[in-house]
Amino acid sequence: MEPFILFPFLSDIKSDIDMLHSSLKSAELILLIAEPKLDQVISLSLLESSFIDNGISYKRIIVNDVQEFSGHKDVLSIYFSKPLEIKNSVIFIEPRQITVNMGQNNSPRNGIIDMVIFSGCLALQIGGERINKLIPLIISGNWLSSNLDYTYDPVFTILRDTLEKMGIISVVSIVEVNDLDFLDLPGIDIIKLNELKKRWNMIDLSEQSEKLSEIVLSLLKSSLGVARLEELIWHRILQKEWDSDLASQCSRIQRELRSSDNKVRFAGELVDKIIKTGTLI
């Protein structure tokens, strides 16, 4: 699936993607180097999935701190991090700012293309069946970012709406998710939420909104940002084969990764799982 047909609003990075794609095709071996951080692990998984399908020779390297990795001379290396003081020829997959036009008036909004989106676009440009199954995860980087804790994220919103219009994901309320991570919802009344789930399809939109607002009232007193809270209540991201939405998956796997005694091994196993199943959990 061609990334800039799917995501035309990301055309600002097309020349960079084309240039990197050309470099990858001419490389004899590519090193994919990441730390055991969830956004880097997902980014690596997206690229690796396309490498597998296209027979691109690569080696996955996960290290606790990329600054302690000296690299390999004359081997094309891709780092999923900010630029470092490394002398060898490398590619850094890092966030960058873009402007997108939104709303009826096409008002310009500044946003961030994070490393997951960039990696996903590069992987889609390379192609393959595996990356097509991982497209819902391309939005995960913006979700993991702290931006939504402070302000509205236009790139996240337009990505979410585009994927929904394409039928790649469904966007549903918290009530419509079977398997929620309640640790992300401090103080919510779980009993009332479960009762509302039973009645949800029997009441109209107005009553749905009223009842759900009553249940989530306690969350307004939490540390959750308004933009993130709105997503957690009304815009949960699901794929047809998922019981757990993307936000719940991210929260659970973040906790497991952070508490792991061997983060490098955990991250490696997570990459294998993502490529195989298209989910984080």
Confidence of residue 172 (pLDDT cuts 50, 70, 90): very high
Average pLDDT over residues 125-141: 95
Q: Are 5 and 127 in contact (CB under 8 A)?
A: no
Average pLDDT over residues 166-181: 94
Average pLDDT over residues 129-148: 94
Q: What is the CA radius of gyration of the chain?
A: 20
Q: Are residues 31 and 133 in the same domain?
A: yes
Say yes or no to pLDDT of 70 above 80: no
Q: Are residues 270 and 232 in the same domain?
A: no
Average pLDDT over residues 134-144: 96
Question: Is residue 60 in some structural domain?
Answer: yes
Q: Are 114 and 148 in contact (CB under 8 A)?
A: no
Average pLDDT over residues 185-204: 90
Rounded distance between C-alpha atoms, residue 30 and residue 192, angstroms: 52
Average pLDDT over residues 204-230: 87
Residue 108's domain comprises 3-144+262-277
Q: Are residues 125 and 177 in the same domain?
A: no
Q: What is the pLDDT of residue 85?
A: 46
Question: Is residue 244 in some structural domain?
Answer: no
pLDDT mean across residues, the chain: 90
**Residues 6 or more apart in contact with residue 202 via CB below 8 angstroms:** none
Rounded distance between C-alpha atoms, residue 83 and residue 94, angstroms: 8
Strands, E assignment, the chain: 30-34, 58-62, 76-79, 90-92, 96-102, 107-113, 170-172, 236-238
Q: Are residues 102 and 210 in the same domain?
A: no
Q: Is 169 helix (H, G, I), strand (E, B) or coil?
A: coil
Q: Are residues 73 and 178 in the same domain?
A: no
Q: Are residues 73 and 125 in the same domain?
A: yes
Q: Are residues 112 and 202 in the same domain?
A: no
Question: Is residue 154 in some structural domain?
Answer: no
Phi, psi of 44 (to 5 degrees): -60, -40
**Residues 6 or more apart in contact with residue 191 via CB below 8 angstroms:** none
Question: Is residue 157 in some structural domain?
Answer: no
Q: What is the pLDDT of residue 26?
A: 86
Among left, alpha and beta (phi > 0; psi -120 to 50; other), residue 187 is left
Domain count of the fold of the chain: 2
Q: Are residues 72 and 211 in the same domain?
A: no
Residue among 220, 222, 228, 230 nearest 250 (CA): 228
Average pLDDT over residues 250-262: 96
Q: What is the DSSP letter of 73?
A: T
User: What's the gap between Cα 279 and its chain centre?
Assistant: 11
Question: Is residue 16 in some structural domain?
Answer: yes
- Lowest mean pLDDT segment, chosen from 7-21, 125-139, 161-175: 7-21
Rounded distance between C-alpha atoms, residue 207 and residue 120, angstroms: 39
Question: Is residue 81 in some structural domain?
Answer: yes
Average pLDDT over residues 177-193: 89
Q: What is the pLDDT of residue 108?
A: 86
User: pLDDT > 90: what percent of the chain?
Assistant: 62
Higher pLDDT, 90 or 19: 19
Confidence of residue 91 (pLDDT cuts 50, 70, 90): confident
Q: Are residues 8 and 125 in the same domain?
A: yes
Q: Are residues 187 and 82 in the same domain?
A: no
Q: Are residues 121 and 13 in the same domain?
A: yes
Rounded distance between C-alpha atoms, residue 268 and residue 34, angstroms: 10
Strands, E assignment, 35-92: 58-62, 76-79, 90-92
Say yes or no to pLDDT of 99 above 60: yes
Question: Is residue 87 in some structural domain?
Answer: yes
Q: Are residues 79 and 182 in the same domain?
A: no
**Helices 115-126 and 14-26, axial angle in degrees (round to 10):** 60
Question: Is residue 158 in some structural domain?
Answer: no
Average pLDDT over residues 164-186: 93
